[in-house]
C-alpha cells in the first residue's frame, strides 16, 4: 500500500530545529496561508539503515511555473507522470535523470557501542543536519524564499499539521517498510529563492533503485 495522502506543502520557512525520537529529524516550521505547518526531514533512519542525501544547487524542476502558481498550503497530488509528482527512479528532466543514487552522499551507519561509536553517530547525523540547517538559514535570511515539501500529509487535530516521508518512497524490502512502496510518490524538498531553485533528495541504502510498477524491488533484487 503506498504512503497516505501524497501531497506537496508550499510555504515560507520561519524556523528549524532538531527533534529526537524514534529517529532524529530536522523539523522545519513553515507559514502557509493563515496557519503554520511542520515539515519533518529525516536525518537518520528508524531501523538504522544508512541514509543517502543530495543537495542539488541550481536545480531545474520539471514544472517550475506550475509549482510557483500553487496556492500556499497543502496540495494533494496524483501519483502519475506528467504532473508534479516525483519519482527518483523514473523521472527525467531535460533528458537526464532527476536524481541518481551515484549523485547521493552516504551518511555512515551509526555505531551504538563505545565512545568512538557515539562520536561517529553524532558526526554522521550532524553532516546532514548542518547541511539542511545552513540551507534553511539562507532561505529565511532571503526573506522571499518558498519551500515545497513533497511527502505524506498528516493532520494533528488541535496541534500543527504537516508533511513527513520526505524521502524516496519505493524500493523498500517487502518485509521492511514494503507497505510504503509506490511509484510517483517520492518525497523531497525544493527551495525557490528568487529565480534559483535548490533541491534536497533523501533515500535509504536499503531502498532499491530498480523497481516494478508497484514500487517494489524487482524479483532479482528481492532474492
How deeply is 127 buried, as exposed, middle or buried, from its count of CB atoms within 10 A (0-12, 13-18, 19+)? middle
What would the mean pLDDT of 40-47 be, rounded to a whole number? Answer: 74
Going by pLDDT thresholds of 50, 70 and 90, the confidence category of residue 132 is confident
Q: Determine the pLDDT at residue 43.
A: 77
Q: What is the DSSP letter of 23?
A: S
What would the mean pLDDT of 148-166 be, rounded to a whole number? Answer: 87
Q: Determine the pLDDT at residue 111.
A: 46
How deeply is 56 buried, as exposed, middle or buried, from its count of CB atoms within 10 A (0-12, 13-18, 19+)? middle
Within 8 A by CB and 6+ apart from 110, the residues are 44, 48, 117, 120, 121, 124, 125
Q: Determine the pLDDT at residue 46.
A: 63
Q: What are the distances in angstroms from CA 65 to CA 69, 70, 140, 184?
A: 6, 9, 22, 20
User: pLDDT of 81-127, one tens digit each?
Assistant: 988 999 999 999 999 999 999 999 887 655 444 444 445 555 555 67
Q: Determine the pLDDT at residue 120.
A: 52
Residue pair 153/109 in contact by the 8 Å Cβ criterion: no
How deeply is 138 buried, as exposed, middle or buried, from its count of CB atoms within 10 A (0-12, 13-18, 19+)? middle
For residues 131 and 118, the model is more confident at 131
For residues 178 and 32, the model is more confident at 32
User: pLDDT of 173-202, one tens digit each?
Assistant: 888 877 889 999 999 999 999 889 999 999
Reported residue count of the chain is 223
Q: How distant is the alpha carbon of residue 185 from its chain centre?
A: 11
Amino acid at each position: 500500500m503506498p504512503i497516505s495522502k501524497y501531497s506537496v506543502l508550499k510555504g515560507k520557512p520561519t524556523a528549524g530545529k532538531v527533534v529526537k525520537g524514534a529517529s532524529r529529524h530536522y523539523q522545519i516550521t513553515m507559514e502557509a496561508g493563515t496557519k503554520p505547518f511542520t515539515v519533518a526531514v529525516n536525518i537518520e533512519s528508524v531501523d538504522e539503515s544508512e541514509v543517502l542525501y543530495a543537495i542539488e544547487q541550481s536545480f531545474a524542476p520539471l514544472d517550475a511555473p506550475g509549482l510557483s502558481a500553487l496556492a500556499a498550503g497543502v496540495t494533494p497530488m496524483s501519483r502519475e507522470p506528467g504532473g508534479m509528482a516525483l519519482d527518483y527512479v523514473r523521472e527525467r528532466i531535460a533528458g537526464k535523470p532527476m536524481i541518481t543514487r551515484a549523485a547521493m552522499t552516504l551518511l555512515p551507519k551509526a555505531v551504538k557501542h563505545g565512545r568512538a561509536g557515539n562520536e561517529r553517530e553524532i558526526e554522521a547525523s550532524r553532516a546532514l543536519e548542518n547541511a539542511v540547517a545552513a540551507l534553511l538559514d539562507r532561505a529565511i535570511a532571503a526573506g522571499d524564499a518558498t519551500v515545497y515539501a513533497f511527502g505524506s500529509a498528516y493532520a494533528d487535530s488541535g496541534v500543527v499539521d504537516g508533511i513527513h516521508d520526505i524521502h524516496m518512497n519505493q524500493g523498500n524490502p517487502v518485509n521492511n517498510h514494503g507497505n510504503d512502496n509506490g511509484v510517483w510518490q517520492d518525497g523531497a524538498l525544493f527551495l525557490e529563492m528568487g529565480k534559483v531553485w535548490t533541491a534536497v533528495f533523501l533515500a535509504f541504502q536499503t531502498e532499491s533503485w530498480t523497481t516494478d510498477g508497484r514500487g517494489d524491488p524487482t524479483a532479482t533484487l528481492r532474492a
